[in-house]
Each structure stands twice: as structure tokens, then as C-alpha cells.
Structure 1
Amino acid sequence: MVEPIYVPVLPTTSSACSAFRDLDPWIGRRIAPLWTVVPRVGPQRVRGVCPPDDPETSEKALQEWLTKRVDGVVRAMGGRGGWLDATHVERVERGAATSLWRVATRSGLRLVTGPERDPRHQRHIADLALAGQRGLGIRVLLDQAPDEARAAELDDMVRRLCLVGSQTDLLLDLGPVTDPQEAQKTALTALDLLGTLFPWRRVVLTSGAFPLTWGGRDAWPVRLTPRLDWSLHQAVAAARPLYPRRVVYGDYSVEHALRANTADTGRSSRVLVRYTTPDDFATAWAPLDGVARAERARRGRATVRSVVDAAFFRGGGDHGDSEAERWMYRCAHGEGPQGSGNAHGRVWAGHVQHLTFVVNQLTGRR
């Protein structure tokens, strides 16, 4: 087994599952995703906060929906390792029970809990992890630098659940990064205070910098947003060159860090093209509200073409680092609705290109 070098936090959407499944095998073996089950219904969840009244009220509907979601993730993983976080659905225990049991005992994935969660649900996830005999992940949400109280909270949870450090992964999650200096301070404090608390099996540091807002009534050409998640990784490595263990890099791929807190409607009224460069996220956007099919295809191709024609684009024709570049090139230079892509395909391409690029970046191939 190849030890993973990269942990992307991915939502359990069909586009993300398809993207991971379609990666080059050499790339896929070096990735261990942290899948977050998106809510089935209701408004956007607040990060780290349990709603007082759970929007999910139907055990039967959740069971049917979650079975399909988990089946898609398990098929995409093909027996490889990673994590699955069911924080948005685990409170409906009967509705989630069958799917979580399957994840724990019949896949290569490990379940996830966190210090801020209900102790009863922590215990449930820990018991499932024990049954699966692969350990579990502890996801610590870090919206600010942790203090001794946060360390004590984590220590108490580990001891109360009788977890073994060597079978437990510490997943340090900074969420959206907007201030590089504050993010670095938070990351270093977390590594020094929490990363050394137990002999963890792995320590993962993940954050997200993909932009949240775009749009308006008008299309825009390519915009560049700095990859602050990647620069944070470099800054932390430079600040702690003698850290006693390897810290695995993580990000949110080409999704905003709060994407998995929102139910997946499957609908889109825009074209959004995503592309990752060494230092930036490139995005291009066009509205589709009230647009006929032929015009939707034209706008879709034109938006993809604005990225393909940019100097940073790698590949053309049958060349490119990944199938995503090859698809984008064909889309940009084709005609008509056939092959012009849709929302699913464009998100798929963004994930495939990003995941491939990051692995190549981490291994020195890019």
C-alpha cells in the first residue's frame, strides 16, 4: 500500500465521486479523501454547530438517500483508504445506521468524529470503528488557534472513548482561509498543542481557499484567486522543519470549504469553470438563467475556452496532465450542444485537474 500524501476534503456529490473514480491509478493511490456527507434537506448548516431542531425528520427517506450516497463513495474508492464524516446525518441514528455500518465494516474508509459533537454520537462512531478494526479519524475544527482548554477537551474525548493513538488519525481542519498570517498562527499552535498530544497514526492539516462568491448578471473572464491553502502548507513546513512527524497536506479541492454544509440540489443556473495553477485558482463564469439550449452550449464552450486559451493552461488536443485538460480542450474547440458539458461535467473536470495537479506538485512532477 502506498502511504497517502494528500487528503482532499470532498463532498459526497456525484461529480466528486466520479472525479475520484476517474483519476489515473498512480494519482489515486496517493490520495486519501476525507468525504463529508452533505445534508439531505434543510438550510446550510453552521460549521461546528448542531442545529437545535434537526432538519432531517424522516428516518426512511434518509436511509434510502444515504444508502445511494455511501454506495457511490464506496464504489469510487474501490477499496482504497480514506475517511467518511457523517456529521450532518449521524444524529438520525436509525436512518444512518445501515450505511455507517457498511462504511465501517465493508469498505476501506474510516469513520470520523470530533470533540464538539454529542458524546453519545462520539461513542456510536467509536464503537463502529472498533467493529471495523481500522481505527477512526478525529476532525478538529479550528476557526481560531486552540488553547489549553481545547487540548483538554480532545484529551478527554480520546481517553473516554478508549482510543489508541496509533489507530487514530488527527484531522486538523482550518476551514476557509482568508488571512494567511492568522491561518499560519492557528496551524502552528494546533500542531504544537494537539499534534503532540498522542502518538497519532497520521496528522493531517487541511484548509480551503477556493472562492465562495461569484456571479451577478454578467459573465466574467478568467479571475485568479490565490491558493492560500497551498501557501499555508509551505509556510508551516518552513516554520517547523524539525517537526517530529510528517504532516499530510489537505485542502478542499475546487469547492469552497463550506460546500458540504449545504444540501445538494443538483441544479445550476450558471457556468463555472475551475482550474488550478501553481499559485492560484482560476475561475470563469457565465449566467444561464432563462437561456435556450443552443445558447447554453455556446456560453458553456466560450467559458471553457477562456480558460483553455489562457497562458497557464497545460495541454491541448490529446495532451495534458489529466483527462480533465483533454476534455476541456475538446469542449472549448467543439460546436453545438453535443459535448458542450453540463454542471456535473465541469465540476468533475475541476476536481480531476486539481487532484492530479496537487499530487504532481507534492511529488515534484509539476
Structure 2
Amino acid sequence: MATPSYVPGLPAKGAALAGFQHVEIPGKERVQPLWTIPPPKRTVDPAEYLRRKSRAIRDGPGLHPGWLDAHTMEESLDLVVQHVWQEVGATLVGTELRPVTGPERTSEQQAATAGIAQEWDSGVGVRVRLRAAPDVRLRDRCRELVGRLRGLELDLLLDLYEVKSADEAVARALRGWRDIGTLTGWRTVVLLGGSFPWGAKELKDHDLTEWPRVEWQTWQAVRDRIEPPGPTITYGDYSTVHPRSGDARPGGGTFYEKPRYTTAEHFLIGKGAEWGRDEASLMKTLAARIVGDSEFRTSHSAGERWLQTQADPAVPEDPGSPSVWVEKGHVQHITFVAGQLREPDR
């Protein structure tokens, strides 16, 4: 498994799976996703659901290196042992994915993760959620977990989850590193965080909103604050979706036309007509404003080409659907960020 240069946290949904597959860049093997299996509808059989998700990952980007986190399916010991890693493991054995565990999970889940890592001949991702309030027992739980995983190659995924303030997020990240960083020789240390808004309440109606990429600011500050011989801190984010997108059950909510675009320091997010209602589309207007932005990268990826088509007045109106908007957002974001990381201080 090559050392990652960028870790996008992605829910194993159709839009993200397709978006990642449509990213075409040199060195893509070093862009290594953290895939999260989102929870199913409550009426769905969990074993069959896991089989479907495992096949979708295998048949899509499954042979690509990365990590797989099934924490939303680990509500009981039976689900952990008999369904989660049995179903996922049987389908994905031989891939370059690494199973994920964490200090807050049960000893049974941790043992099941170690077992599947041995079966896959892989390492383990240790995902540590760094909450706003200090966790006085976090170091002890992480030390116990590292002891249970002795003999396996370990990756540390420091997860800030939602980030709103760079100063607060930097403090959380540095506190987490002080607590956990010296417990073992981590193969990789990843700092994850996401600032993309949840829903559309915070966006301007029928307009573009410029939204700061706080996770990018946070990573730059943390990278500069950890002095040698500290490790290289790999950048991770949640692409152009909120971190909750991998944890929330499907259903409910109101959807608006939402083209999204990533610039050096901001997201450009449109909010157009309500999807599924008999409203005049605003997608052409919003796309034209994005394409006209000074930082727009003409034809840089399938995401940009889609926006250019949307903005073209000669092309018949076809605004797409929520899954299309998410997919195109992932394509342009991952393509851009992978390049941005080659020159992070430009």
C-alpha cells in the first residue's frame, strides 16, 4: 500500500463511488479514500445490505487502496462478527482496503477488525474522533487498543469531524496528537475534517454562497506546528459533503439544486430551485456564475466540463438530480485537491 498524499472521507454511496472512479489524475494510487458504509433504511436486511455495498465497492474502486469503516453497522456483537466483517470480508478479501476500528468501539469489534486485517494481510486504520471537549480517558483507551493490535501495521486517522473555527480545530488536533501520537510507530497519520455545510439552511436562496474551507486552514496550521521529528501529517477532508453524510440514515429533508465548486480557500455553493417541485430551474444561472469565477479551471475534470455544459445557453436545460450534483462535486474537488497538495503553500 503506497503512502497516501490525500485522504477523502467518502460515504459508500453511488454518487461518491462514481465520483471517485471518474477522477483521472497521475498518482491516483496515493489518493486513498476512507469509505464509510452509511446506515440503511430500518426496513432493510443488514446482511443483504452489506453484501450489496461490498459488491459496489469491489466492482467500483475496491482494488484501490484506502480504508473501510463499518461503524454504522456495528450495533451488536452479532452484526459485528456474523454480518459486518464476514460479509464485507468475504467480498473484499484481496483488495487493498484496510479495516477501521477505534478506541470507543467494543473489544469484540476491535478483535474482529484485527482478524479481518490478518485475513486480508493488511494493516488497520485507527479512527479517533477528536471532540470539542477534552476526553480524559482517550489516551488510555488508545493505548489499550494499540496493545490489542500488536503486530499489525497501524494508521492513525485523527478525525475532527465537523470544523467551524480553525483556531478551535487546531487546538483539538494538537491535543489529540499529544495524547496519541507517541503511543506507537504509526505508518501514516491523517488529519480529517469537514466544513461543508449540512443541508441548505445556511446558504443564500437563489444565489451562490462563498464558504471557507476551514479544514484546509486547520491542516496547514497543524502541519506547521508539529516540529521534527514529528510525522508528516497527511491531509484529509470530507470532499464536498458534510461529515454526517456517511452516518445519517436515508430519507427526509428538502433538496435544492446545489452545484458546488472548490477553490483554493473556499467552496462556491449554489442554492437553486427545490428539487421535485414544479419550480423554474436556476441551474444554468448558478453554473454560469461558477464558470465565470476567476478561479474556475476550464475543462480541468469531468466536474468542470459538466458545469460548463450547464452554463452553456445553447444546451437544452437538464439540471440533473441530487446524486448528479454530489458526484460532479466529488470529481472536481478530489481532482483539484490532489493537485493543490503538490504545491500546498502556493
> Match of 1:28, as an amino acid?
K
> Do residues 163 (structure 1) and 115 (structure 2) align?
no
Following superposition, the deviation at residue 27 of structure 1 comes to 5.1
Q: Paired residue for 1:335, among 293, 311, 315? A: 315
Offset at residue 288 of structure 1 (A): 2.2
Partner of 1:220: 206
- Is 2:132 aligned against 1:144? yes
Q: Pairwise mapping of residues 167-206 of structure 1 onto structure 2 (< 5 A)?
A: 167-206=153-192
Aligned to 1:324: 303
Asked if 2 retains the 8 angstrom alpha-carbon contact of 1:145 and 1:190, the reply is no
What SS does structure 1 have at the residue aligned with 2:161?
Answer: strand
Q: Which moved more, 1:237-246 or 1:251-260?
A: 237-246
Change in Cα spacing, 1:196 to 1:217, as seen in structure 2 (3 Å) is: closer
The Cα RMSD (Å) is: 2.5
1:211-235 superposed Cα distances (whole Å, 9 cap, x missing partner): 1242499833111111110000110
Which of 311, 326, 329 is matched with 1:347 structurally?
A: 326
CA 175–231 in structure 1, closer or farther in 2 if over 3 Å, else same: same
Output aligned runs, 1:57-76, within 5 Å: 61-76=45-60
* CA offsets 1:45-75 (integer angstroms, 9 cap, x no match): xxxxxxxxxxxx76xx222222222222223
Question: Structure 1 residues 355, 243: CA separation in 2 closer, same or farther (over 3 Å shift)?
Answer: farther
Query: Given that residues 58 and 92 in structure 2 are in contact (C-alpha distance below 8 angstroms), is that contact kept between their aligned partners in structure 1?
Result: no
Correspondence for 2:70 among 66, 70, 86? 86
Displacement over 6 Å in runs of 4+: none
Cα displacement (A) at 1:341: 2.3
Give the partner amino acid of 1:73. I
Alignment of 1:1-366 (within 5 A): 2-26=2-26, 28-42=28-42, 61-90=45-74, 91=76, 92-93=79-80, 94-102=82-90, 105-144=93-132, 146=134, 149-159=137-147, 161-164=148-151, 167-215=153-201, 219-265=205-251, 269-288=255-274, 291-292=277-278, 298-315=281-298, 320-333=299-312, 334-337=314-317, 339-364=318-343
Moved more, 167-176 or 184-193: 184-193
Counterpart of 2:260, as a letter, is: R
In structure 2, the CA distance between the partners of 1:169 and 1:103, relative to structure 1 (3 Å rule), is: farther
Aligned residues: 340
CA distance in 1, matches of 2:135, 2:188: 21
Distance in 1, Cα, partners of 2:26 & 2:251: 32
User: Can you list the C-alpha shifts for 1:323-365, whole angstroms capped at 9, x where unaligned?
Assistant: 210111012215334x532222111111011101111110129
Partner-residue secondary structure (3-state), 2:60:
helix
* Aligned-partner SS, 2:128: strand
Displacement after TM superposition at 1:147 (Å)? 5.5
Q: Secondary structure at the match of 2:259?
A: strand
SS of corresponding position for 2:315: coil
* Structure 1 pair 162–29 and aligned structure 2 pair: CA distance change class (3 A): closer
> Does structure 1 retain, via aligned residues, the 8 Å contact 2:50–2:88?
no
The offset of 1:268, in angstroms, is: 6.2
- Structure 1 stretch 71-80 or stretch 128-137: which is displaced more? 71-80
Unaligned runs of 5+ in 2: none
The letter of the residue matching 1:356 is T
TM-score, normalised to structure 1, is 0.85
What secondary structure sits across from 1:4 in the alignment? Answer: coil
Asked if 2 retains the 8 angstrom alpha-carbon contact of 1:27 and 1:356, the reply is no
Q: Give % identity.
A: 32
Q: TM-score, normalised by structure 2?
A: 0.90
How far apart, CA to CA, are the structure 2 residues paired with 1:290 and 1:322?
A: 28
5+ long unaligned stretches in structure 1 = 43-56
